[in-house]
Structure 1
Amino acid sequence: MANYNTEREGQLDFFKTFLPLINPNLSLDDILADDNDGVLNGNLLEFKLRVNDLNAVLFQCVKYMSALRIKGKPVPANVIIVDLNAEQAYFYRSVDYLTDIEKVYEGGASKANVGFIGQPYLEKYAYGADQLAVTKLIARLKQNEFTQIHIDENCIVGWATAFYKAVPTARKEDFIGDDTGKHKTIGEIRNPSVFAEYIYPYTGATNVKFQYLMDKLNDTLQKKNLGAFYTPEAYAEKSHELLRMAIDRVPTGNDYVIIDRCAGTGNLEKGLTDEELSHCILSTVEYYEYKVMQEILGSKVRHIIPPVEAADTFQAGLVKGADALSKEFVENPIIKQYIDDPNCTIILFENPPYAETTSLEHQRTGAGKKSSAWKRSFVVSEMKKQVKGAVLNDLGNVFIWSAFEYYIRQSTDSYVVYSPVKYWKSQHLVDNEFLAGFAFNRRHFHTNIDACIMVALWGGDVCSDESINLEGFDIEPDGNLSKPVSVPVNKVHDLFSTKYYEKGQFADESFDGILIGLNGLEAKDDVKKRIKPFYSDEMLGYMVADSVGFDNPDAKSSLLVAGRYNGNGFYVRKDNYLEKLPMFCASRYINYNREWTERARIMKSGDGADRFNADVSSGKLDQWLRKCLLFTCVEMQNHMRTFTGSDGRFYRNELCMDTTNGETLASEDLKQLVCGEDEKRIIAQWNVLLDEAKKTAEYDSNLTYGVYQIFAEIDTSYKDDEGKTVWNNLEVHSALQTLKTLVKDYYNKEIVPMLFEYEFLK
């Protein structure tokens, strides 16, 4: 009998004993990869200090195997439950529980397992006392077999991801292809090859079962090229209200058509009446979505583009003639007959694909250029004749521009469209009459981001509104819409860079300084540097308050002791730095206000610059600017550090409250701040943090510390044997966590209202 105090201790001892006898090349990281106790070859292991209920532990293993299936990972053929202190192991076959494995479970796998009825174990190994049992257990753990599972809508996305990872050159037809159309590639799910050991052939004649997941089944490159345009059912149904408002605008006696150029499988149209469907013209450029749409809606709608599949319809996974950005589609005679008819009202009803090829997501995959094929389309070339700048980087914008260019031609025509609000708010792509609209949470559109998506009803007339109001709806866990909230949207005209960035010269400027990385230290030699290493004694540091929106806010917001290696900011002067701080403060908004209604709706602007500058000059904002300074001194994204640079200069962080080595510029200016209770609490907590930092071995008395430098150099940690984080300086970590809470509350109470008042935020 063993006497382990923790499960982790026993687990590690077990692997230390048996791994060298099974596969000495395997590490614990290889085995412990999926939040269970380990998968070793074709064995799922579950360890307990003492097994009190074999069936309950077996059910926990079933849940782990269910999770593996959903992730697209092989389900081990064997289940080994290990009683550590009794030194006994129990063997089960997973195939005997396949029905349970192919269910979906909510909550923790270790919860609510009592009452499961399992079969008796097949073998028991008393490995602590019986050498024969040890050899049998080793033989079992060497087995590398798996239980085949059935593909369904719960696991197909996981297996698609695994397939494209295993076969990087594969396309969608290689995964879900069938023999129902003219193009008869039989995909992996129907004739397993790569996953022959792991999955049963899918026997569904078509892919209708996966209609709501078709956008997630595209190969990686196709996902980027086509964008995502899945619409949650609850939101689709809500947007039907706007569509019906558009139908109500159709003049008496007119025919009307509802055009959706990016219908996918038609999920946006599901729930429309047969009468409404009879007016629909649908198209989608992805072949397997086209086939599903034909099967579901082909007999109900007025037209599908193309009407029938021909021998050459399939073109590298796409549909010939269905590319909405092609000249062929713009001139399609089926649609053109209605556009040319003055007695027919045009209604576009679309959730356009969203693909912004300058995004970090594209750049990380190295697929920016490859997934920008749409940029070479006919419609984009025509759009470039009228529109310039970053607006051309967004595929959704091309659909929106072309809707008004080629389809909306009368005042009673309408466009109901899903898209982030920036096309109207900051890019000014649309100047038509806003009739009504909703705000939805982007998280439910097959993404992981809480952000605002607008679905708007636009009319055919021009309008110069500066603000619009949306009704906002999230989706509750039960699938129903939440109660509505008011979501106002105001236009943005001027950028920070055009109104507030410092453009004056420095008296003693030179270009023999250093450049800084995002972590506040000197940039490495191997990074591409876009600016010269400027230096001046008048220089306080370098500020980046880039972009109108809040995508990737930490990369778009910086305060550094010298120039940032990739630019996009300006050098801050010591004599006027206070009036620049609101830009930095505004750039932190989304970090402290993460509600879905804020991201992609609230943006940074320089629209209030004239009023702000006048009030700064009059002294009206003196106290508020010092509140901004206090916030800046304790905000974690202020990455100013104190160190000696490779140029031999000593760079001191002047935007902090550490006066150990003399006053800083910030500490001098904060002497004029009238402190209330909130300010006093923050300053007191900063002093607690600094005092605790000074007690540590890592503290260097020659440096002047800000919050970030304490975090990066003193608030360090490591992982213990159980994988838990252990802080090297617990008192420092605790003080820092308390300060963060105070900072958030202070920011939203004292800083944010004035940022909106002076239109730094809109």
Structure 2
Amino acid sequence: MANYNTEREGQIEFYQTFLPLIDPSLSLEDILSDDNDGVLNGNLLEFKLRVSDLNAVLFQCVKYLSALRIKGKPVPANIVIIDLNGEQAYLYKSDDYLADIEKVYVGGASKSNAGFIGQPYHEKYMYGTNQLAAANLIKCLKEKDFTRIHIDENCIVGWATAFYKAMPTARKEDFIGDDTGKHKTIGEIRKPSIFAKYIYPYTGVSNVKFQYLMDKLNDTLQKKNLGAFYTPEAYAQKSHELLRMAIERVPAGNDYVIIDRCAGTGNLEKGLTDEELSHCILSTVEYYEYKVMQEVLGSKVRHIIPPVEAADTFQAGLVKGADALSKEYIENPIIKQYLDNPKCTIILFENPPYAETTSIEWHKKQQSKKSTLWKQTYIVQEMKKQVKGAASNELGNAFIWSGFKYYLRQPTDSFVVYSPVKYWKAQHLVDRKFICGFAFNRKWFHTTIDACIMVALWSNEYGDEDSFALEGFDISKETGELISVGMLPVKQVFTLYSKEYYDNRSATAETDDGILVSLNGLEAPDNVKKRIIPRYANDLLGYMVADGTGFDNPDTHSSLLVAGRYNGNGFYLHKDNYLSKLPMFCASRYITYNREWTERARIMKSGDGADRFNADVASGKLDQWLLKCLLFTCVEMQNHMRTFTGSDGRFYRNELCMDTTNGETVASNDLKRLIHGDAEQRIIDQWETLLTAAKQTKEYNPALTYGVYQIFAEIDTSYKDEDGNTVWNNLEVHSALQTLKTLVKDYYNTAIVPTLFEYEFLK
């Protein structure tokens, strides 16, 4: 009998013993994944020091196999439970538990497993004492058989992901194609080829069962080109309140139509009454969504564009005549008859697609030109004639702009539209009257991002408001019901930091033989494209970037460096006025310390308060607050100023830190004027604790002047032990740094943020 102290110890020794006899090319990393004890060929392995309840451990394995199925990974045919100290293994066949594997489990796989009733094991291997048993176990672990599973709505997204990974050039019809329409490609799920050993043929005649997942079943490139159409049911139902407000605005005696040019499978319309549906005109550009929408809503709505499928309707996965950004669509006679009728009120009700068309997936597949096909459409080309700047580069904006341009004609026409608030707040794409709206959490729209999405009811009347309030709603993960988070103000932004605050003066005795640095604070390598001229002068302190209005990729759009950033977008800090520039850097860190969905994409950066701010700086009113901003800047991790010797032979010193080991810095000298309260003293004391700990390490260089980031990058290092756990080389440094981070967050939100809002650095 063995005598292992930990399960991990026994597991490693087991693999070290048996792997060379099964497949010497495999490593532990190849086997261990998906939070289980290992998948080896066609075997799921589960280790216990001592097995006290075979049925409970078996149920744990069933849950692991359920997770594999949902992820689109093959389900091993064998389940091997290993009693380490007993040196015995038990073989079960997963096919015997297929019905249980095809259920969805919530919570940890190792919990609540008592009471499961399993069948007798197929084999027992006493591998520690019986050579024949050990040989038979090795034979078992060499088997490469799998249990075929049934495709359903719980696992189809995982298998779609696996399919497109295995077949990078495949299209949606290759995966879910059926023979119900004019285009009769039979897809992988109905006639398995790639996954023939892993899945049973799907017997559903159509794809209606997957109607709320259709956007997630597009191939990788199509996802990027089309964007997402999905709207969570709870949010769709809530937005019906806005739609009904729009219907109430229809003049007496008028007919009305509800147009949704990007309806997907029609989930935004789910829950409308039969009367409301009878006024709907729906279309979607994706062929398999079109087919599902025809089946689900075709008999209930007024029109679907196109009304019937023709032999040439299918065009490379898209629907001919349904591209809402084409001139052909605007001139569609079915829609035009209503637009030309003065006694018909137009209501647009849409969740426009969102697409990122510069993503790395496109470039990896060498199809970056295809990613911008929508930018060549008639609508976008017409929009660019009137809309300048980044607003014309967003797919959703093309729907919003064209809705007002081509569809709404009368004051009582309405537009109920989902989109991030920036199209109104910062891009000023809409100048119409806001009637009512809600704020929703973007996370529930088949994304992974917690951010604010607005659904607004706009009247086709000109409006002059520069602010309004939205009632915010999250969705309960447990019940699926709406949770009100209260009223959320939205205020327009009119000016950028770069226009009001950037300092574009030349420095005294400025030269252009300096260096440029990367985001990590070190000198930029020669092979990167440099977009600015390096500058050096004694009265230059560093280089700040605080560009844009939003908080997408906040660490890219916010940096503080000891020299110019290689790709620009910022300005050089001068020693004579750098304090008045620090609020921009502080404001750029807002989303880092306020990650709630209600903040991202609603709160933005602005220079609208510049006149008041500059006047109060000149009067000295803000002296102490600016010093608080300096203190925060010195201990904020995104301050990537480092001390080093550049390739130009100059010694670049971090002057925005509190390390006075080698003499006063610009910051430490100015901070002498800061009136210390308890909060300030706690931060200063913790900084001293961190620096003292750093000085005790072998990595510390006494010739350097350290800021928080340089300590983090060069001294707070770690490695992984054999169990995969992180081990910190300098635990005292790491502990002090973690405590400082907590103090910095609290200080930022209490001492810095309120004044940032007061002077509209945040809005």
Place the TM-score, normalised by the shorter chain, in its bin. Answer: over 0.9
Distance 1:221 1:81 in 2: 42
1:275 is aligned to 2:269:
no
User: In 2, are the aligned partners of 1:357 and 1:394 still within 8 Å (CA)?
Assistant: no
Q: Which amino acid aligns with 2:67?
A: A
Q: 1:716 to 1:484 in 2, by over 3 A?
A: closer
Q: Which amino acid aligns with 1:61?
A: C
Q: CA deviation digits over 1:612-660, x for unaligned, max 9?
A: 1111111111100000000000000001111111111111111100101
- The residue number in structure 1 matching 2:526 is 525
User: In 1, are the aligned partners of 2:284 and 2:323 still within 8 Å (CA)?
Assistant: yes
User: In 1, are the aligned partners of 2:221 and 2:361 still within 8 Å (CA)?
Assistant: no
Using the TM superposition, give the Cα deviation of residue 496 of structure 1 relative to its aligned residue in structure 2, in angstroms.
Answer: 0.7
User: In 2, are the aligned partners of 1:540 and 1:574 still within 8 Å (CA)?
Assistant: yes
Q: CA deviation digits over 1:130-178, x for unaligned, max 9?
A: 1111110111111011100000000000000000000000000000000
1:593 is aligned to 2:620:
no
Give the 3-state SS of the residue equivalent to 2:408 in structure 1.
coil
Give the 3-state SS of the residue equivalent to 1:474 in structure 2.
strand
- The residue number in structure 2 matching 1:134 is 134
Using the TM superposition, give the Cα deviation of residue 239 of structure 1 relative to its aligned residue in structure 2, in angstroms.
Answer: 0.2
- The residue number in structure 1 matching 2:41 is 41
Q: Which amino acid aligns with 1:71?
A: K
1:160 is aligned to 2:160:
yes
Give the 3-state SS of the residue equivalent to 1:82 in structure 2.
strand
- The residue number in structure 1 matching 2:403 is 403
1:613 is aligned to 2:607:
no
- Which 5+ residue runs of structure 1 have no aligned equivalent? none
1:310 is aligned to 2:310:
yes
Distance 2:359 2:532 in 1: 22
User: In 1, are the aligned partners of 2:47 and 2:83 still within 8 Å (CA)?
Assistant: yes
- The residue number in structure 1 matching 2:468 is 468
Distance 1:38 1:508 in 2: 65
Q: Give TM-score, length-normalised by structure 2.
A: 0.99
- The residue number in structure 2 matching 1:457 is 457
User: In 1, are the aligned partners of 2:716 and 2:729 still within 8 Å (CA)?
Assistant: yes
Q: Which amino acid aligns with 2:402?
A: S
User: In 2, are the aligned partners of 1:88 and 1:125 still within 8 Å (CA)?
Assistant: yes
Distance 2:12 2:84 in 1: 11
Q: CA deviation digits over 1:169-194, x for unaligned, max 9?
A: 00000000000000000000000000
Using the TM superposition, give the Cα deviation of residue 368 of structure 1 relative to its aligned residue in structure 2, in angstroms.
Answer: 4.6
Distance 1:743 1:360 in 2: 34
- How many residues align? The count is 762
Using the TM superposition, give the Cα deviation of residue 535 of structure 1 relative to its aligned residue in structure 2, in angstroms.
Answer: 1.6
1:687 is aligned to 2:667:
no
Using the TM superposition, give the Cα deviation of residue 356 of structure 1 relative to its aligned residue in structure 2, in angstroms.
Answer: 3.6
Give the 3-state SS of the residue equivalent to 2:268 in structure 1.
coil
Distance 1:20 1:649 in 2: 55
> What pairs up with 1:437-586 in 2 under 5 angstroms?
437-477=437-477, 478-586=479-587
Distance 2:567 2:134 in 1: 60
Distance 1:271 1:601 in 2: 28
Give the 3-state SS of the residue equivalent to 2:245 in structure 1.
helix
1:697 is aligned to 2:698:
yes
Q: Which amino acid aligns with 1:224?
A: K
Distance 1:465 1:372 in 2: 34
User: In 1, are the aligned partners of 2:221 and 2:362 still within 8 Å (CA)?
Assistant: no
Q: CA deviation digits over 1:682-706, x for unaligned, max 9?
A: 1011111111111111111111111
Distance 1:509 1:87 in 2: 75
Q: CA deviation digits over 1:498-532, x for unaligned, max 9?
A: 11111101122112111111111112222222222
Give the 3-state SS of the residue equivalent to 2:433 in structure 1.
strand
Q: Which amino acid aligns with 1:587?
A: S
Give the 3-state SS of the residue equivalent to 1:9 in structure 2.
helix
- The residue number in structure 2 matching 1:624 is 625
Distance 1:453 1:361 in 2: 25
- The residue number in structure 1 matching 2:756 is 755
Using the TM superposition, give the Cα deviation of residue 358 of structure 1 relative to its aligned residue in structure 2, in angstroms.
Answer: 4.7
- The residue number in structure 1 matching 2:209 is 209
Deviates more, 1:690-699 or 1:332-341: 690-699
Q: Which amino acid aligns with 2:760?
A: E
Give the 3-state SS of the residue equivalent to 1:483 in structure 2.
strand
- Which 5+ residue runs of structure 2 have no aligned equivalent? none
User: In 1, are the aligned partners of 2:305 and 2:321 still within 8 Å (CA)?
Assistant: yes
User: In 2, are the aligned partners of 1:356 and 1:393 still within 8 Å (CA)?
Assistant: no
Distance 1:360 1:88 in 2: 49
Q: Which amino acid aligns with 1:522?
A: E
1:415 is aligned to 2:418:
no
Distance 1:21 1:528 in 2: 51
User: In 1, are the aligned partners of 2:471 and 2:484 still within 8 Å (CA)?
Assistant: no
- The residue number in structure 2 matching 1:646 is 647
Distance 1:368 1:752 in 2: 41
Deviates more, 1:476-485 or 1:389-398: 476-485
Distance 2:481 2:377 in 1: 39
- The residue number in structure 2 matching 1:5 is 5
Using the TM superposition, give the Cα deviation of residue 484 of structure 1 relative to its aligned residue in structure 2, in angstroms.
Answer: 4.2
Using the TM superposition, give the Cα deviation of residue 369 of structure 1 relative to its aligned residue in structure 2, in angstroms.
Answer: 3.4
Using the TM superposition, give the Cα deviation of residue 426 of structure 1 relative to its aligned residue in structure 2, in angstroms.
Answer: 0.3
1:369 is aligned to 2:369:
yes
Q: 1:368 to 1:612 in 2, by over 3 A?
A: farther
Give the 3-state SS of the residue equivalent to 1:44 in structure 2.
strand
Give the 3-state SS of the residue equivalent to 2:62 in structure 1.
helix
Q: 1:9 to 1:696 in 2, by over 3 A?
A: same
Superposed structure 1 runs of 4+ greater than 4 Å apart: 358-368
Q: 1:697 to 1:9 in 2, by over 3 A?
A: same
Q: Which amino acid aligns with 1:544?
A: V
Using the TM superposition, give the Cα deviation of residue 365 of structure 1 relative to its aligned residue in structure 2, in angstroms.
Answer: 7.4
Distance 1:616 1:543 in 2: 20
Distance 2:112 2:147 in 1: 25
Distance 1:647 1:723 in 2: 42
Give the 3-state SS of the residue equivalent to 2:531 in structure 1.
coil
Q: Which amino acid aligns with 2:507?
A: F
> What pairs up with 1:708-723 in 2 under 5 angstroms?
708-723=709-724
Distance 1:80 1:634 in 2: 52
Q: CA deviation digits over 1:704-747, x for unaligned, max 9?
A: 11111111111111111211111111111111111111100000
User: In 2, are the aligned partners of 1:234 and 1:479 still within 8 Å (CA)?
Assistant: yes
Q: CA deviation digits over 1:26-55, x for unaligned, max 9?
A: 111111121111111111111111111111
- The residue number in structure 2 matching 1:604 is 605
Give the 3-state SS of the residue equivalent to 2:275 in structure 1.
helix
Distance 1:357 1:122 in 2: 53
Distance 1:194 1:34 in 2: 22
Give the 3-state SS of the residue equivalent to 2:470 in structure 1.
strand
User: In 1, are the aligned partners of 2:519 and 2:565 still within 8 Å (CA)?
Assistant: yes
Using the TM superposition, give the Cα deviation of residue 370 of structure 1 relative to its aligned residue in structure 2, in angstroms.
Answer: 2.3
Give the 3-state SS of the residue equivalent to 1:689 in structure 2.
helix
User: In 1, are the aligned partners of 2:358 and 2:371 still within 8 Å (CA)?
Assistant: no
Distance 2:652 2:293 in 1: 63
Give the 3-state SS of the residue equivalent to 1:482 in structure 2.
strand
Q: CA deviation digits over 1:648-676, x for unaligned, max 9?
A: 11111111001011110000000000111
Using the TM superposition, give the Cα deviation of residue 359 of structure 1 relative to its aligned residue in structure 2, in angstroms.
Answer: 6.3
- The residue number in structure 2 matching 1:663 is 664
Distance 2:146 2:536 in 1: 63
> What pairs up with 1:303-342 in 2 under 5 angstroms?
303-342=303-342
Deviates more, 1:522-531 or 1:422-431: 522-531
Give the 3-state SS of the residue equivalent to 2:598 in structure 1.
coil
- The residue number in structure 1 matching 2:230 is 230
Deviates more, 1:387-396 or 1:423-432: 387-396
Q: Give TM-score, length-normalised by structure 1.
A: 0.99
- The residue number in structure 1 matching 2:116 is 116
CA RMSD of aligned residues (A): 1.1
